[in-house]
Structure formats: C-alpha cells, structure tokens
Structure 1
C-alpha cells in the first residue's frame, strides 16, 4: 500500500538505508554509552546498559521466532516494557505494546510470542489460557542472559515496526522515527519527562522514540504528585484529564499541548502548529475548506501509518483519501477529528466524529435525500453536523433541502442532526 509519507516525500524512507530505533540505539551506545538514557524510580539505565538488555532480549527471541512474526508485550513496569519493545524490533519482529489484560488486542493480533517479566509469567499464562487464541510462548525479558554475539535482523524502513491498539494501527520503522524528529523539533528542555505508559502512542514516542532519536534522556514518572526535574520538558495531549494540574507543575514553556492521532503515530500539532505535516480541513467531495470553516481534519506526512491490521477496506478509506483540489496527487489520512485552520495556519480541534454512525453512511443518505444535493459531508456522530452542497444552478425553496436531509437521516439512521448546513455556489443558504 502506498502511504502518504512515501508519496509526499518522494520515497525518501522507502529504502532500507533509513535508520530504525534499534540501529539508532546502537549508535547512542557506541558514542555515549555511559550517559543516562532512561530513569524510573531508583533505576537508571545508560545507553550502553539499555543496548545490552535489548540485545539480550533480541537474542532470546531469535531462538524461538522468525522475523516478521508478532510479539505482544504485556508488561506494566515501564523500563522492562521499553526493553521488550526494542528487543522485539531488534529481532525483526512486529511489536505489540499493550497494557496487561488487553484481551481484545491479543485476540486480534494473534502474536507468536508474549513478553512478560519473571514475576508475571504465571499470571500471563493464566490470562492467555482464558483467551480465545492459540497457545503462546511466554518469555520473561528481565531474566534473559546477556550476550555479545548477535547479528541484528535486517529490516526495511517501510516494514511494520509495531501495531498500535485499540485500532491496530500499523506503524512502520520510518513512521516512528519521522514522528520522533517532528516532535523533537518543538519539544523543550534537555531532559524529557513523561507519565504516559509505553503502550500509549504519546507515551511510546516520548519514552522511547524521541530519546533514542535525539539522545536526550527521559525520566519516567507517576502522574500524581511529581516535580519535574530542572530543564525538563514534555508534550501533553490536549485531551489529558489532568491537563490543568500538569500545566501548573511545569515552568512556563516547558510543557506544550499537542494533538495526538494514533493513525499518525502520535503527534500531529503542537500548540496548534503542524508538526512537520500537511493539514487540510475537508468538506463534501473531498474538497479543501477555506480558512476559518470547520470540517474534517486530514493529515499527510511521513509519520502517517500504513493502515489497520487485517482491515484492508477500512485502511483504504481512512489512510488513502484524495483531496480534490490538491496541488499534486498524494494520499491523506482522514483523522475523524473536526476543526478549522486560522489565517496563520494554526489548527483548532473542535470535536470528534463519534462512534455509532459511520460518516460515509450518513453522507450517502444526505446526498440522496434531495435531487438538488450534489455532495454531502457528515461530522460528529450523535451530535452530527451535516453539510450539503447544491448542484450548480439549483435553487430549491429555502428550507426544503434541510428538511429533506433531516427526514432521511431520521428514517434511515434514527438520527436527529444538530445542524444541517446547505451551501450553494454563492455561499450558505
């Protein structure tokens, strides 16, 4: 599948020469091995120590798996989770970072092996035995023996590095390195702080990808009652439930609010500014909406994932959209988020297309509701805003199209839209 990243950036990540997180980690260990890489509670690993632990896990995995197979990570302790994740990548596997107990994701991904810690192996086996899956090997990553003899499995930058749940987004090696560089360009401080678990898109980016890509150490903290270390910075999702308290905990400018989209690896904008990506606000017919008007947020860039695991039709619809008035052909990601761009190009996110009513189904219904309708777009699920454009020259009586659209949506979907906007060639009617 051609991705927006491969098209937009001329295939610069298409060859196997582009760096991956394991190769970047090896480089850090070689030139700055004694410097701290990550700290959690009383544990600090240097780059060299982290690299050795990752190699040990990769060596053990290579003895019982084949490159390209999937490895689920069911580990709560963040340091062990990070080691397991990087070890899976270094072994050429597709990692699946999960919170322990995520039965739905394990069933969907069908991993060949599950990574745990020595004190959780028995509980992990019991958990797996109750799952609707085949038997799994379980490897305790904290007791594998270190080794100096290891050849890293060759992978291409366009190969899938990990699956990101709950949706099962396929993130490639190139995607995660690209998003790490995008985020690093706007991330303040010489030390990174994060309270998000590595199973979370933003947590994985801040705890693993950005530190390895930039060489900045990361401190992993509990979100309750911590004090940021001096000269530390972080990114926080605009939807974080503790946003207000976290903003008070950091020095001015040390915490920056970002918009996170799992299908785009993680970070799309920081303080409203696009993080090295193209952003379009799109209305009916896949046409770009003018400045200040709200519509669906579309994204294109090297960080956009390959698609959804085992969902080709949905992947094509979400990851392979075309903008009708684009300056050159490229694929766009339909984020499902709603927002608008201001005159300076900054993004404001206003909502989310909710589950329960597929926007495509609503659009088909609205388009067929009246013969004067040429195109339609629907946003917002249960609180839907439906925008319809009239055919050129169509001048139906005022209110007739709106009533027809509302009646059709009610009859076919049991939905009462919050608003129906009717656009003609001359503007809103």
Structure 2
C-alpha cells in the first residue's frame, strides 16, 4: 500500500520554524485556545494564544531552558493540560533540547510508570506550573533518590515553571536552528504489553507525520479547526492537537480529559462551535457520549460542520460509529465524518486512515478463517462473523503485510504482521539498541520482488482487503487454545454483549497456564449504572460463559466481575491485558467460580477519571 501527495506549503523543516512563520505572516490569528470549566455546568472559559503571543512565550521559555540544560539534554513535561504544556513542548524543541511528554504526579494508578520513565529518560530539567511546583519537585526528588533533591547532586532535575518565565526573557535570545534529523522528543509507549520504551522522534519525523495526517483528513486543501481532549502526553493528542495545527497554521481548541469525562457534551459543543472541526477519540468515548448526553443537552447541538471524527482503537468496529451516528444524526452529524484510523508511537502516530466524506468501510470476516490467517468474507448477519471497519490507506508512507516468522510479504487477504516504512518512522528506542534493531530494522526475506529497505515491525496483525488496511489485533495478545487462535478483543466483544451489567470496553481476556495447556480468563468491570445491591453476579457469569462458548467454541476457565476502575489500564487509558493478567496471577482477583472479585462489589471504585478519559487513538 503506497500513497504520496504533493507537500503542504510553506516548506519548513521543524515545528519551531513553523511557529515563527505563522507569527510573522498571521500574528493576530488565533493559534491555541484552552477551554477551562471552573464549575460543574460551566459553558467554559476560553484562554487564547495568538501566533504572535505563542512565539513570544515559546522563545521566552526556550531561553530559560537553554540556561538550565545543554543541547540534546532531555526536558520532562509534567504540566497539566493547557497552553503551558504546548509552550513547554515547543520551547524545548526551540532550545535544541529533547522533550519528554509526560503528566503531573497524581494520575491514578500510574505513579510507578512515571517514576520508571523519569529514571529511563534522565531529564536534566522539568517543565511544570507554579501551582504544581512543590508536588513535582518532591516527586522528582523521590524518583531519582536523594541526589535529586534541590540543592545538590549531579542528578538534580531543575524545575522550570512555565507560567513564571517573563516575556522579557526572549528579548536578546536567539535560537540555534536544530537539525531536522536530530531527536525532537521521546514518545514513551503506553506499556500495554511490556515496559514503556521511549521512541526517538526526530524533528523531520513529526513534521512528516503532521503533514501526512493533514493530507489524509483533507486539511491540506481546506481550513480546519482541531478540537481535542486527548492528553498531550499521548501520541495522538500531541500530533493532532499540537504538531498538525502548527504545521497547518490552524486553530487548536483544547480541553482537559477530565472535563470531557465529567460532562461529555462539552466536547460535542466545541465540535459544533468551530467550522470544519477535526477530532479524535477512542471507542469508549463515542459510546460514552451516546449513553451520557441527554436529550436536553442534544437540543442545542449543531454538528453539521464536523469534518472528521478519528477512531484509532484496535480494532475499530463499525457498531461504535453506527451507535454514535444514530444518536446524533438529527443534530446534523454527517454519516461520512467517521474516519477509522491506525497508528502507533513508533511511527510518530499516524499510519493509515479512512478519508472523510467516504462511507465507512465495512468488512464481515469468517471467524475461523481469520484465526487461521485468512481474511475471508462472511455474511454480516452470521453470528460467527467478525465485523471490522477498514482503516483506509496510508498517506506518504508504505504499508506491507508480512509473515511474522518467515518475513515473507503476504498477498491481499492474508493476515500477518503490519510493517511500515516512511519518513514518519522514528529512529528507534532510547537506550535500547538491540530492541531497536529488531523492531525498526526489519527486512523482508528472499526474492527480487521483496520490498527493499528497513521496515518497522509494528507487532500488530492485519490484512489488506479491497485496498484498505484491516487491523485484526495484537500479535502478542493472541490466545492459543488447542491449536486454535483467538483474538482477545473478539472474546471481549462477545462478553460485553452477553449481559448489560458488563461495562463496555472495560474488560480483559487473556490466557494463563493450565495443566494441559493454556486456559482463558475474562476479568470484567460491571457497569456504573448497576448498583452492587442489584448485581446478580452468577447470572452475569453464566451469560458470559454461554455467549463465549456458543460463538467461539471456547470454555472460559474463569470469569471475574470487578468494580468500575479495577481493570488495569495503561497511561493512555487503554486496557492493559498484560497487567490485568499479572494481577490475576498474583491473586489480586479471586479465582474460580466466577465470583465478583478485586475490590469487593459495593466498595467505592478508585479515582480513575483521568485514566478513563485517555484511551489510545490512532495507535
């Protein structure tokens, strides 16, 4: 699969160059708007930076960072969502430093990950805000040990508060233009199947990927507004809400993930308030809007101006788009706005997407054939059919399907590992040479017709059908029982449809060792709408077991029902099957008999709002 389009103009090589270009050519045009919601039912307070103001703030902060760190040093971003995060990221790049997009301490369930990433990246400086200074300083001191405390030690991380740096700091400072081939930032993977690794994204990578995404979603030919609530430490949030608007000179409207979670109609109002809006969200967010937005809230929505709604969950199912469109079609939402997409951090983020204005690509595939490595059509009404949405075609890069064992290129309709090649593919993993060579340096085996060069092995399974990329699952997540392959997301989809008490997109299916091979377990959260007193655990477990047995011919060894917020998730909000499996094996959930496990049903769930709101989009 190949797709190349003429480049966007102007031709700049780095994001800092683009910022300066727009500050010079459109100084008073709005660049970034952050919408705060100070009260529960607030319509929002808008705080805006023009391109002139953004350029000034970026240069002022870059000058301060240049005083704290040598070129090429890492700078961790521990800011809350908002314009300080944007200026901190762009300032690090402008100063010739390597940004490390992270999050402030306190994200529920992710303290260990934050500590691990800081230890791995070894940043010289940290950008935060004055409100969080003490919390961040204390956390960083603990993360690197006593030598990291303010006042001494080579390992001390210097704390810079973005909102305290005066504009005058930019007056006499002149940036040194970074090499486009140099590392711009480390994008740490979500850690859904292994420890997080920092992908080295160069200045050229992020500019190329922003341009690819703009072309794919039609933003190269028409003015757009990027509207987003995905966190900026997330690869899709960073590229769609920062890099792409900077390259295009487009307005980016941001809100906090928690503001969306607390009242999802806020996102829809922002979409309706801005012309040709483009936004991204995972499966759960679209379903959440369907269930949580009231008829009264819908009444004043106008969604006819929405250009593209990106969904990059793995895999993308047509039912999600259908439910969302059915709920908001009478508000003018175009049926062709849904753009299933695929991507991953190793490719900056964007790889392939369905184009706006084109009907959703629907594929009904035979489940048994799919498990055997063939994408064969089935009747859509066949209960054993797997329904998937096509993720379109790439823009400016190459995608091939490879046999993961022999490294031979596969033909259309054959399921294998997705390999990617293009200017958006990162340099490799920070400080992981052997793993980088294995993942980023793959070569196809044999034959004069084998694609040339080095390729990125994504670890994702898929096929090409009718010219579209179909993503079927993760290679490492495959469940193999009695010689048959089962995709865990298929088991999860069946389980969540089996009973209304099972919470959508908040369950994990995985294999565990058994006496005669692998056994399959499902750990599922119960729906928030079901009170513990009303929950018939045995009925739910019977329904899940029966549905999985009927549809997949598979006997579940255990079904564990847990309270909302209990199933493990990555920092991007994606369900972590690996961590849930580890917790299950450690005894965190009662085993056997399908009882309600984890925290006892009826116990208030942990504070998971921030993690709930940040599932991976487009990879």
TM-score (norm 2): 0.54
Give the SS at the match of 1:171.
strand
Q: Residues 231 and 255 of structure 1: is their aligned pair in 2 closer, same or farther, counting only changes over 3 Å? A: farther
Give the SS at the match of 1:290.
coil
CA contact (8 A) 2:428 2:440 kept: yes
2:459 aligned partner: 336
Which residue among 321, 329, 344 is the counterpart of 1:261? 344
CA contact (8 A) 2:461 2:472 kept: yes
Q: Deviations over 1:182-227 (max 9, x none)?
A: 0001225621111111101000011111111111111113432221
1:216 aligned partner: 250
CA contact (8 A) 2:340 2:392 kept: no
Identify unmatched segments of 5+ residues in structure 2: 36-45, 106-113, 146-154, 190-196, 290-308, 310-323, 355-390, 491-512, 521-551, 554-619
User: Hey, what's the Cα distance between the residues in 1 that align with 2:477 and 2:341?
Assistant: 23
Give the SS at the match of 2:163.
coil
1:351 aligned partner: 473
2:353 aligned partner: 270
Give the SS at the match of 2:16.
helix
User: Hey, what's the Cα distance between the residues in 1 that align with 2:277 and 2:215?
Assistant: 12
In the alignment, is residue 44 of structure 1 matched against residue 36 of structure 2?
Answer: no
Which residue among 251, 257, 276 is the counterpart of 1:232? 276
Q: Residues 355 and 153 of structure 1: is their aligned pair in 2 closer, same or farther, counting only changes over 3 Å? A: farther
Shift of 1:380: 6.8
User: Hey, what's the Cα distance between the residues in 2 that align with 1:29 and 1:313?
Assistant: 42
In the alignment, is residue 30 of structure 1 matched against residue 30 of structure 2?
Answer: no
CA contact (8 A) 1:193 1:218 kept: yes
Q: Deviations over 1:307-359 (max 9, x none)?
A: 1111110101001111225555211111111111013x2011111123699xx
CA contact (8 A) 2:462 2:470 kept: yes
User: Hey, what's the Cα distance between the residues in 1 that align with 2:216 and 2:277?
Assistant: 10
CA contact (8 A) 1:353 1:379 kept: no
Shift of 1:135: 2.1
Q: Residues 414 and 176 of structure 1: is their aligned pair in 2 closer, same or farther, counting only changes over 3 Å? A: farther
CA contact (8 A) 2:12 2:18 kept: no
1:156 aligned partner: 179
Give the SS at the match of 1:71.
strand
Q: Residues 218 and 67 of structure 1: is their aligned pair in 2 closer, same or farther, counting only changes over 3 Å? A: same
User: Superposition RMSD on alpha carbons, in Å?
Assistant: 3.2
- Between 101-110 and 187-196, report the one with greater CA deviation: 187-196
User: Hey, what's the Cα distance between the residues in 2 that align with 1:183 and 1:191?
Assistant: 14
CA contact (8 A) 1:38 1:217 kept: yes
CA contact (8 A) 1:25 1:212 kept: yes
Shift of 1:414: 6.2
Which residue among 93, 99, 124 is the counterpart of 2:97? 93
1:74 aligned partner: 78
In the alignment, is residue 279 of structure 1 matched against residue 309 of structure 2?
Answer: no
Give the SS at the match of 2:400.
strand
In the alignment, is residue 182 of structure 1 matched against residue 194 of structure 2?
Answer: no
Shift of 1:379: 10
Give the SS at the match of 1:303.
coil
CA contact (8 A) 1:234 1:256 kept: no
Q: Residues 123 and 306 of structure 1: is their aligned pair in 2 closer, same or farther, counting only changes over 3 Å? A: same
Which residue among 416, 440, 452 is the counterpart of 1:295? 416
User: Hey, what's the Cα distance between the residues in 1 that align with 2:239 and 2:104?
Assistant: 19
Q: How does 1:125-140 map to 2 (within 5 A)?
A: 125-132=137-144, 134-140=155-161
User: Hey, what's the Cα distance between the residues in 2 that align with 1:25 and 1:335?
Assistant: 32
User: Hey, what's the Cα distance between the residues in 2 that align with 1:33 and 1:18?
Assistant: 17
User: Hey, what's the Cα distance between the residues in 2 that align with 1:24 and 1:18?
Assistant: 6
User: Hey, what's the Cα distance between the residues in 2 that align with 1:321 and 1:379?
Assistant: 26
Shift of 1:18: 5.7
TM-score (norm 1): 0.77
Which residue among 306, 311, 333 is the counterpart of 1:251? 333
1:117 aligned partner: 129
Shift of 1:80: 0.7
User: Hey, what's the Cα distance between the residues in 2 that align with 1:26 and 1:201?
Assistant: 23
CA contact (8 A) 2:416 2:461 kept: yes
Q: Residues 138 and 243 of structure 1: is their aligned pair in 2 closer, same or farther, counting only changes over 3 Å? A: same
Q: Deviations over 1:17-55 (max 9, x none)?
A: 961001111001000010000111110110111111000
2:194 aligned partner: none
- Between 346-355 and 63-72, report the one with greater CA deviation: 346-355
Q: How does 1:58-69 map to 2 (within 5 A)?
A: 58-69=62-73
User: Hey, what's the Cα distance between the residues in 2 that align with 1:235 and 1:332?
Assistant: 29
